[in-house]
Structure 1
Amino acid sequence: MKRVFCPKCDNQLSFDETKYPEGKIIAFVCPQCGSQFKVKLGRKTVRTKTGEEEEVKEPDFSCGYISVIENGFAFKQDLPLVMGDNVIGRRNKDTDGVDVPIITSDPSMGRKHCVINVKEDKQGRLIYTLRDFPSLTGTFLRSVILGKKEQARIEDGAVVTIGATTFILHVPEDRVE
């Protein structure tokens, strides 16, 4: 199943892309706002605001990633992390400053919920630190809530819960001790 978002209201729509040939243009009508838009299948470019086409880059998982595994509101997602602070929160069309947006309608997850900091030590190993943004519902590491201004070092396989959503940290295999 392929997912697209309405450009007007950001409503998520799903369809089976295997029923259509590559290059086919599919027209949609958003059931939420009634907006009409088209999507071209198999296209690896996007049109920028200046009207130029830009190639879509594949996600870079070299600094690790999180897998959203328990989310009754959406679907499994693998989201890449980058060096430095990675602000994690609920995806919203109008939210700026979220580096790792989780697609969900979970009202208990904040738009900016927690932060995973990625840095490299002197031996070239990646170090991951988790902290609450702060959020209203808190950030849980292995079912224990992080305190205000508390930072916790996390490693490969760390289970983190924000709102009603749980994710697991995955460290690149070549960066594990």
Structure 2
Amino acid sequence: MKRVRCPKCDHYLYFNEKKYESGQSLVFVCDECGKQFRIRLGKSSLKSTRKDEVLSPDNIDTPFGYISIIENVFTFKQLIPLQEGENLIGRRSPGSSVTIPIETGDMSMDRRHTVIHVGKNKESKLVFTIWDNDSMTGTFLGADEILPGDKKIIEPGQVITTGATTFILYTKDEDNQ
């Protein structure tokens, strides 16, 4: 399956590229905004998409760690750096004000789903805290749901699930990848 992004609203549309030949022109109508647009299959001189980038923790320039989005039917693998303070995580959408936009077709992930707070304790060690941002489907730390109003300390290597999207917390000094 391939995906194309609507030029008007950034919504993704998916199609089976194996049904078409290179050089063929396809017309799409966006389900979200109704915009009609066309693409031509084949080699493009445009910059490669994030999906085609070589992902490596060595390319992440942050002292505060990062999250690694696990590839599934809705999303591709992504490595996204964390910032000190609150990191609001949600589904990427035009006009959405999130710190960490995840490119996904997972409609069960809210546009403003969960928050990871990065801070330091008295010994200047990084402390990661997570809570659900009043999402429709909840946030899970491992198999445990984070209940509304609860804040949980998370450790590097722990698995977090938001909707059908799963990611793992890593710090720069750990080689868990």
> Does the alignment reach a TM-score above 0.5?
yes
Say if 1:11 and 1:30, in contact at 8 Å, map to a contact too: no
Gapped regions of structure 1 (runs ≥ 5): 15-27, 44-57
Alignment partners' CA distance in 2, 1:4 and 1:157: 32
Secondary structure class of the residue paired with 2:70? strand
Alpha-carbon spacing, 1:106–1:153, altered in 2? closer, same or farther (3 Å): same
Q: Distance in 1 between matches of 2:168 and 2:79?
A: 10
- For residues 1-177 of structure 1, the aligned pairs below 5 Å read 5-12=5-12, 31-32=28-29, 33-35=35-37, 41=46, 60-95=61-96, 97-173=97-173
| Separation in structure 1 between the aligned mates of residue 157 and residue 173 of structure 2, nearest angstrom | 12
Kept after mapping to 2: 8 A contact 1:6/1:30: no
**C-alpha RMSD of matched pairs (Å):** 2.9
The structure where strand makes up a greater share of residues is 1
Task: Report SS of the residue matched to 1:31.
Answer: strand
Q: Calculate percent identity across the aligned residue pairs.
A: 44
User: Distance between the aligned counterparts of 1:118 and 1:66, measured in 2?
Assistant: 12
- Change over 3 Å in CA distance of 1:60–1:7 after alignment to 2: farther
Provide the rounded CA distance (Å) in 1 between the counterparts of 2:26 and 2:82.
33
Query: For the residues of structure 2 that align with 1:123 and 1:172, how far apart are their CA atoms?
Result: 18
Asked whether the equivalents of residues 138 and 146 of structure 2 are also in contact (C-alpha less than 8 Å), the reply is yes
Gaps of 5+ in 2: 15-24, 30-34, 49-58
For residue 12 of structure 1, report the CA deviation from its aligned partner: 4.5
Deviations 1:57-103 (A, max 9, x none): x86332111011143212101111100000001111131x2110111
Match of 2:32 in 1: none
Aligned residue type for 1:162: T
Paired with 1:166 and 1:109, the residues of 2 have a C-alpha distance of 10
Q: Distance in 2 between matches of 1:79 and 1:30?
A: 32
Structure-2 separation of matches of 1:75 and 1:62: 24
Distance 2:94 2:27 in 1: 15
The SS at the match of 1:122 is coil
Give the TM-score normalised by structure 1: 0.69
The 8 Å contact of residues 115 and 130 in structure 1, kept in 2 or not, is answered as yes
TM-score norm. by structure 2 comes to 0.69
Number of aligned positions between the proteins: 145
Distance 1:62 1:5, change over 3 A: farther
Amino acid at match of 1:34: Q
Question: Which 4+ stretches in 1 moved above 2 angstroms?
Answer: 3-7, 11-14, 28-37, 39-43, 58-62, 121-124
